[in-house]
Amino acid sequence: MAFPNVRLSNRPLHFIYLCDCSGSMAAQGKMQALNQAIRQSLPGMAEVARQNPEARVLVRAVRFADQAAWHLAEPTPVQQLQWRDLEAGGITAMGEALNLVAEVLQSPPMEERALPPVLVLISDGQPTDDFDAGLARLMRLPWAQKAVRLAIAMGHDADLEVLQQFIGPEPSGAGKSPRRPLQASNATTLAQYIQWASTAVVGAASMPASRVTPAPAADRPNPSDSVGNIPLPDLPPTLLDPSVDVGPLVW
């Protein structure tokens, strides 16, 4: 006498971290901060996945330093994920990291039907290899074009231009936007952005949330959902100031 054991068919949502593990990440505890931020974000991410019968959230991670390598190669259901610490040391093979991601976004191994993938690139410096070639190869793939691509700049040495190229065309207007590199100037902001990407963005890419009419451009602190095939949620308000980017502080 029970409801039949059936459920709505779901689609995979691939979430891939691309983490800079170059030597500079060892300074001022940045590597530890990133490991902590990702680990702390997992319960919230698992909860979003649970609330989302339409999606099967699968996580992977690439690390890049002297070379790029899969840190977490197996697409892992977020509920089962245990984050292994990344370690810093070497230079910044960001282009090679994009190549690795390109390999998994072509079908096969990519499923025929899926939700838009989410790619999160986190870096504190400049690529030391052929970034342009890696990006060009990645962006030839339809799944990469459809992906939600986010970038987080750690500290003030990150190459914002390169990160913007990864995300796509820069939005018009000034101010914070998820279509610009997110500048994490301290560990708290980093954790907020990682949490936002792994919960709010995963939610938006998998299960449509309540939609609101866009306010007139002039009133909008975050001209966020004007581009792209997935409307991005608002950035998390920081306690310092909900609408103004305070700029880099000290690490």
Partner 1 sequence: MTWLLPEGASLSFNGLDQPLRILRGLGGGTQGQVFAVALEGSGSGETLALKWYFPSCIQRDPQLRDRLNQSIRLGAPNGDFLWPLALLEPSPTSNSPSSRGFGYLMALRPDGFVGAHLHAGGELEISLQTVLKACFRLADGFHQLHLKGLCYKDVSLGNLFLEPGSGRILICDNDNVDIDGRGVGSVLGTPGFMAPEVLLGQARPSASSDLFSLAVLLFRLLTRHDPFRGRLELTIRCLDEPARRRLYGEEALFIFDPLDHRNRPDPIEHAAALVTWPIYPEGLQRLFVQSFGAGLRQPQQRTLTGQWIQALGRCLDQRQLCPHCGQETFAEPEASSSCWSCGGPLQPALHLQLPHGRVAAAAGNQLHPHHFDPLSNANLDTPLARLVAHPSDPALLGLQNLSDHSWQGVLSSGASLTLEPGQTCNLAALQQLHSSAGSILVVRP
Cα Rg for the chain, rounded, in angstroms?
A: 18
- For partner 1, the closer CB: 40 or 128: 40
Within residues 88-117, the interface with partner 1 by CB under 8 A covers 112-116
- Give min distance, CB of 106 to partner 1, in A: 12
Within residues 212-231, the interface with partner 1 by CB under 8 A covers 212-213, 215, 219-222, 229-231
122: left (phi over 0), alpha (psi -120 to 50) or beta: beta
Q: From CA 85, how far away is CA 104, in angstroms rounded? A: 23
Q: Decide if residue 168 touches partner 1 (CB under 8 A).
A: no
For tokens 């054991």, the residue is: 5
Q: From CA 229, how far away is CA 219, in angstroms rounded? A: 23
Within 8 A by CB and 6+ apart from 14, the residues are 58, 60, 75, 104, 105, 110, 114, 117, 118
- For partner 1, the closer CB: 76 or 188: 188
- Give min distance, CB of 158 to partner 1, in A: 23
Angle in degrees, 0-180, between the axes of helices 187-196 and 30-50, rounded to the nearest 10? 30
Q: Decide if residue 80 touches partner 1 (CB under 8 A).
A: no
For tokens 């390999």, the residue is: 103
- Give min distance, CB of 176 to partner 1, in A: 11
Residue count, binding to partner 1 (CB under 8 A) = 51
For partner 1, which stretch binds (CB under 8 A), given 61-69, 73-81, 94-102, 208-216? 208-216
> How many other C-beta atoms lie within 10 A of the C-beta of residue 101?
25
Q: Which of 39, 137, 146, 156 binds partner 1 (CB under 8 A)?
A: 146
Q: Decide if residue 238 touches partner 1 (CB under 8 A).
A: yes
Q: Are 158 and 122 in contact (CB under 8 A)?
A: no
Q: Are 52 and 7 in contact (CB under 8 A)?
A: no
Q: Which of 133, 243, 244, 246 binds partner 1 (CB under 8 A)?
A: 243
- Give min distance, CB of 162 to partner 1, in A: 26
Within 8 A by CB and 6+ apart from 74, the residues are 60
Residues forming a β-bridge with 154: 184
H/E stretch holding 36 reads helix 30-50
- For partner 1, the closer CB: 73 or 209: 209
- For partner 1, the closer CB: 58 or 93: 58
Q: Which of 209, 217, 246, 249 binds partner 1 (CB under 8 A)?
A: 209
- For partner 1, the closer CB: 82 or 213: 213
Binding site for partner 1 (CB under 8 A): 1-9, 11, 44, 50-53, 112-116, 142-143, 146, 188, 192, 195, 200, 205, 207-213, 215, 219-222, 229-231, 233-234, 236-239, 242-243
